[in-house]
Amino acid sequence: MRRSAFRALWLAQFASNIGTWAQTVGAQWLMGDLGGTALQVALVQTATTLPVFLLVVPSGALGDILDRRHVLIAGQALMLAGAAGLMLLAGTGRATPSSLLALLALMAMGQALSMPSFQAIQPELVSREEIPQAALLNGVNMNVGRAIGPALGGLLIAVAGSEATFAFNTVSFLGVLIVLGRWRRPSDHRPLGTEHIATAVRSGARYVASSPLFRRVLTRLLLFIVFGSGLWALLPAIARGPLQLDASGYGVLLGSVGAGAIGGAFVVPKLLQRMSKNSMVLGATVLYALATTTSVLTANFAVVVVAMLLTGACWIATLSTFNASAQVLLPAWTRARALAYYQLILMGGQALGAVVWGVIADAYGLRTAMIVPAAAMAVLALAATRWWPLIDRPLDVTPATYWDEPPQHDDSDAGPVLVTVEWPVAPENHERFIDAMQRVGRARRRTGATMWGLFRDTERPDTFLETFTIATWQEHLRQHLERGTVVDRQNQEVARELAKEPPIVRHLVFAQPTKPD
């Protein structure tokens, strides 16, 4: 919080999170006042989530090819317009179920536009070493907002009606816009200009597919979220069922989760100085599973409050560790579009888990729906620690150019492009060279190659031929000038040291016939 830009944006985002959760209560209440059908009430949730699922990936691409500050401002402006529209319609009595759903969908579009870019700017607001602490604080921001917002929304509705929740949310977006307007972000260096949105989306998907360490984080996140989200979906049922609580008691449970998240933010950094990320995630997941199980095995309110404190701390410890692990693996050129997949799994996993465990609760009871996923997530966490371990030492993804300049070509859209690299390698280095080239191949695919292969010359057994294709000459130039990292350069240097002499590189462009047959 010593970083002024991070602190200002964090505080503004905190107010916005509270406003968003308060508005959720207000929107549901307003739909009831408007006499909406059961389908329309259900569509409130659809209107706030479906646009995010559909737009978050292309929004991530926009966050990489445009100025992220401008993308954030556009997203916040959309949400401001939606909240202000709801405030005016509700305040003047002109709101209808259709207009409510339309404006909620507009706000969800703004949320989708903002989410990847907000995550992607964190390394610009804090140093690389401070990313884990920033991830923790952002997690606290979200969890405490989720605890306070619904309670505030209920209070505002009781005092001034649902339009008051929309007014509060409108003001909260103004705060974020003011902070973003005052933030002076350094301009991006784009020697080759702006990527096309469709190309950017494809390159983001290709990066994720060719980055096993990042996919490892996504896999761990999915396993935790799907099995851990049952608590959030079923907590109201726990409050009403075994505990026999009213709305104020349920608010205490939510507040306990938020308080636990705040406590976790102080404890986790100290624990990470003494244990690995894998130990942190494993320990927090097991404790989370025990706490959620406890919440349905006792009717003692005090015990459940303690369990909620523990779940808040463990939830924030696990998700902040995953988030920080993802942040430090991603180079700047693809950070927003890759983190869009992180957000997609985070939201999609929660939605899927809520449905699955809700169905199981109806069919087999609340205890089964809480104990089964808790046991499964503990077992899977232990297995995942062995199969998909997180790395503790971050890779150096600082931008770096390490290729020789390609020859000039007049048509930047020409393609596909075939690049061949001839590597002369001594027999005693063959095995190590092949292993080293697997890392080089993944780097080629991450940065734009659509196909990659390594072949041995049958007539010259000491000669290897590396081949890869790229969609266009412009895309190949981006490989050279915009997408390389220090770790990619290090991997290629290992391969070069195993070669007898510098490799011979050739560039070929597809021979397009001038006249069709």
| Contact between residue 190 and residue 482 where contact means Cβ atoms under 8 Å apart | yes
| pLDDT (0 to 100) of residue 29 | 82
Q: How far is it, in rounded angstroms, from Cα 26 to Cα 169?
A: 10
CB atoms near residue 488 (< 10 Å): 25
pLDDT confidence of residue 80? 95
CATH architecture of 195-395: Up-down Bundle (1.20)
Task: Classify strands 463-470 and 504-509 as parallel, antiparallel or unpaired.
Answer: unpaired
DSSP 130: G
Q: What is the CATH number of domain 1-184?
A: 1.20.1250.20
CA distances in angstroms from 498 to 433, 443, 454, 462, listed in the order given: 6, 18, 15, 12
Domain with CATH 1.20.1250.20 in the chain: 1-184, 195-395
Is there a contact between 111 and 79 (Cβ–Cβ < 8 Å)? yes
**pLDDT in the model for residue 517:** 58
Q: Which two tokens stand for residue 471?
A: 């969609």
Give the C-alpha separation, 2 to 234, whole Å.
38
Yes or no: domain 417-509 corresponds to CATH 3.30.70.100: yes
pLDDT under 50 in the chain at which residues?
Answer: none
Please report how the helices 430-446 and 197-209 are oriented relative to each other, as an axis angle in degrees rounded to 10.
Answer: 150
- State the Cα–Cα distance between residues 491 and 487, nearest whole angstrom: 6
| Separation of alpha carbons 144 and 261, rounded Å | 7
Query: Would you tell me how many other CB atoms lie within 10 Å of the CB of residue 435?
Result: 12
Q: What pLDDT score does 381 carry?
A: 94
pLDDT at 27: 86
In this prediction the pTM is 0.90
Quote the pLDDT of residue 515: 63
pLDDT value of residue 516:
60
How far, CA to CA in Å, does 517 sit from each of 415, 509, 514?
20, 21, 10
- The 10s digit of each residue's pLDDT in 189-233 is 777 778 889 999 999 999 999 999 999 999 999 999 999 988 888
Q: Which 3 state secondary structure label does DSSP give 163?
A: helix
Residue 209 is which amino acid? A
Helix (H) or strand (E) holding 419, with range, is strand 417-424
Per-residue pLDDT, 514: 67
> Which residue's entry shows tokens 């060279």?
433
